A and B are shown apart, each in its own frame.
Chain A
Amino acid sequence: MGSHPIGPAAGSGAAVDFTEVQQTEQFRELRKRHRSFVFPMAVFFLLWYFAYVLLADYAHEFMATPVFGNINIGIILGLLQFVSTFAITMWYVSYANRRLDPIAAELRHELEEAAPEAFIDPAGDKK
């Protein structure tokens, strides 16, 4: 099988039982932390983006309301899309660094120690 260097069938008894890992407290916690951040955040930014798009599409008068000088609500909301994108990016990075990476690294090391032969650098056989 050229595509997956390791798979359930490839191991010779020492292969990792991933279904077992999937059920561990630690992994479930990692999955919960990941999903409880990315799903609500994805819903939020998509709603905010489409709210903006619908305003731009169907509320021209409102978007053209001047705020100061020639700057109108449309320009401000558009620039706020940039601001929210940058803010969510930084928020996610800090969350991932604090709440996801440590637990993921711990799990990875445990797995690699438990079955080192299953995780030899797969690029090795490509040379």
Chain B
Amino acid sequence: MSILPSAAVRVPLQTAETTTVGSPLLNIAIFGLFVAITLVIVLRASRNNKTAADYYAAGRSFTGGQNGTAIAGDYLSAASFLGIVGAIAINGYDGFLYSIGFLVAWLVALLLVAELLRNTGKFTMADVLSFRLKQRPVRIAAAITTLAVCFFYLLAQMAGAGGLVSLLLGIDDRLGQSVVITVVGVLMIMYVLIGGMKGTTWVQIIKACLLIAGAFIMTVWVLALHGFNLSTLLGAAIETSGNAAITSPGLQYGVSATTRLDFLSLALALVLGTAALPHVLMRFYTVPTAKEARRSVVWAIWLIGAFYLFTLVLGYGASALIGADRIKAAPGGVNSAAPLLAYELGGSILLGLISAVAFATILAVVAGLTITAAASFAHDIYASVIRKGKVNPDGEVKVARRTVIVIGLLSIAGGIGAQGQNVAFLVALAFAVAASANLPTILYSLFWRKFNTQGAIWSMYGGLGSAILLIALSPVVSGGATSMIKGADFSVFPLSNPGIVSIPLAFFLGWLGTVLSRTEEDPMKQAEMEVRSLTGVGAEKATDH
């Protein structure tokens, strides 16, 4: 494909500068306004942060509707918005496959995980996993997998931030982008330090409303330009791209037998990963009852489903109105399709609004991930393992706050390193790690009476280890044109997503470890967990202030 010549021809939309669209000042002003408003809200929300339940679980005081919106805010990351719109714009139907996996996955959470988890846990995923197994080893393993998933997810968001800025502010050198990633990281640390879970939740609710509203307006606009007819829109996309294949699957993943298998691997990771994402699981603790947890998921499914329908229109809209070549040539590459479309439709102002929303998206998701990772470290490793439960909640929260700073700094460093990767793709890796390391143990411990500590340990470390090892040996890391490490090739594993190997392996190891173990778990604990998970007896209620 000849990217350069056609890009040079088609860029006349911007005459003075080719690297920026819209007005950087306006973009910064709108984003600054968002930060100012949300900071005030976070400050107000943080007044009641007294206990650990307040800091980690927002006092369990959110309603199902509020939490569902926050879940959508947490879930619809920059990967969903920038990554999927870009993927559809360039690869057509294959981008759409991402959104379907991301949505259907919620049924796993709804049917098998959300309510049972709300009934048995307190703050973190490890609370549930270690409920009836040996506390120390299981908690340590669960905390490690939580931190690993959060780290991958954080990388993706930070890389998205870098790409976005390069487009919006005309900063396309590495140093400039790194500065912006640092600013995003510092802001996020402030939100989480001050606001805790309550503040973070409000940021997510506001962001979800803005994002869905913004996508809705653009969707209606794109449809209006094509007579509210999906077929006409697809026709226009085919015409611009000159390739009828963009409306059917295969452009990206149909190239060879390996890419087909890679797609299957991705599909498996997407559908099984969601219900094992620690930052999503932690959101279920912010509501007072399991019934509200169910309501949250239902809200989330409607909002997320609607949003992904919008991205279908936006992706093909970008494909029709802008064209794949111009998107690829723009700074930010694939991830710039949505902002470019906004500019095409509504000029500088819509672009400013949409990019502020995209920034806010990154900020909110990063905040949610950070509080999850911090809670996991402080609650599971520090309080339960290092101090063996002999710590007052104030001390625990203090440790959590310090961890926030450390994680913030780590993610800034990682984000600087991960610049230029497709964010939807990086997020898919986080899903694969979550589905391999966490999901088997979650399901086994909820539904399989005989499951024991050895099974949990084998499954979690085996799933995590195999997923990470396969990623390290895949073309993502070395040997490909877009690999992280250039100039080296140790890619023994041909697929870029490890799910198809690591997920079944983790399920198998959980079974094998269990049947080979000679120690039996306490049947009383198993009975207690099962009764509590289904009835909600003894579950933590909302705290009043």
Contact = CB atoms under 8 A, between A and B. Distances in A.
Interface of A: 1-8, 17-19, 21-22, 27, 30-31, 34-35, 37-38, 41-42, 45-46, 49-50, 52-54, 56-58, 60, 63-64, 68-72, 74-75, 78, 81-82, 85-86, 88-89, 92-93, 96, 101, 104, 107-108, 111-112, 118-119, 121-123, 126-127
Interface string B292-333: 001001100110010011000000000000000000000000
Contacts of B537: 107-108, 111-112, 119
Contacts of A5: 538
Given A8-B528, A104-B534, A108-B536, A123 B245 contact: no
Contacts of B447: 35
Nearest to B300: A89
Interface stretch (B50-58, B144-152, B195-203): B50-58
Contact of A78 (B96, B291, B297): B96
Contacts of A118: 538
Across the A-B interface, give the 10 residue pairs with the lowest CB-CB distance, nearest first. Answer: A69-B231, A2-B389, A64-B248, A70-B234, A18-B527, A18-B528, A56-B249, A22-B527, A19-B527, A60-B250
A52 to B, nearest CB: 7
Contact of A74 (B51, B93, B101): B93
A124 to B, nearest CB: 9
24 contacts: A3-B130, A7-B528, A19-B523, A27-B531, A34-B534, A41-B111, A42-B111, A49-B271, A50-B267, A53-B267, A57-B264, A63-B248, A64-B245, A69-B231, A70-B238, A71-B231, A74-B247, A75-B234, A82-B305, A82-B308, A85-B305, A88-B111, A123-B53, A123-B540
Contacts of A85: 103-104, 106-107, 301, 305
Given A7-B525, A82-B308, A88-B111, 7 more contacts: A3-B127, A3-B135, A71-B231, A82-B305, A86-B305, A89-B302, A108-B536
Interface string B420-444: 0000000000000000000000000
A58 to B, nearest CB: 7
A31 B534 contact: yes
Nearest to B116: A34
B216 interface: no
Contacts of A1: 389
B118 to A, nearest CB: 12
Given A19-B524, A81-B103, A72 B247 contact: yes
Nearest to A37: B111
Interface of B: 50-53, 60, 93, 96-97, 100-101, 103-104, 106-108, 110-112, 122, 127, 130-131, 135, 139, 229-232, 234-235, 238, 245, 247-250, 253-254, 260, 263-264, 267, 271, 291, 294, 297-298, 301-302, 305, 308-309, 383-384, 389-391, 393, 447, 522-525, 527-528, 530-532, 534-538, 540-541, 543
A92 to B, nearest CB: 6
Contacts of A64: 245, 247-248
Contacts of A34: 534
Contacts of A127: 50-51
Given A18-B531, A42-B108, A74 B248 contact: yes
B302 A86 contact: yes
Nearest to B301: A89
Contacts of A75: 93, 230, 234, 247
A81 B104 contact: yes
For the residues of B in contact with A, the DSSP-based class is helix
Contacts of B106: 85, 89
Nearest to A3: B384
A57 B260 contact: yes
Contacts of A69: 229, 231-232, 234-235
Nearest to A107: B535
Contact of B530 (A4, A22, A68, A86): A22
A38 B531 contact: no
Contacts of A119: 537-538
A96 to B, nearest CB: 6
Given A85-B305, A122-B540, A21 B235 contact: no
B103 A82 contact: yes
A70 B231 contact: yes
Contacts of B122: 3, 122
Contacts of B231: 68-71
B538 A88 contact: no
B439 to A, nearest CB: 12
B254 A60 contact: yes
B93 A56 contact: yes
A104 B535 contact: yes
Contacts of A58: 260
Nearest to A24: B531
Nearest to B262: A57
Given A45-B104, A107-B537, A53 B247 contact: no
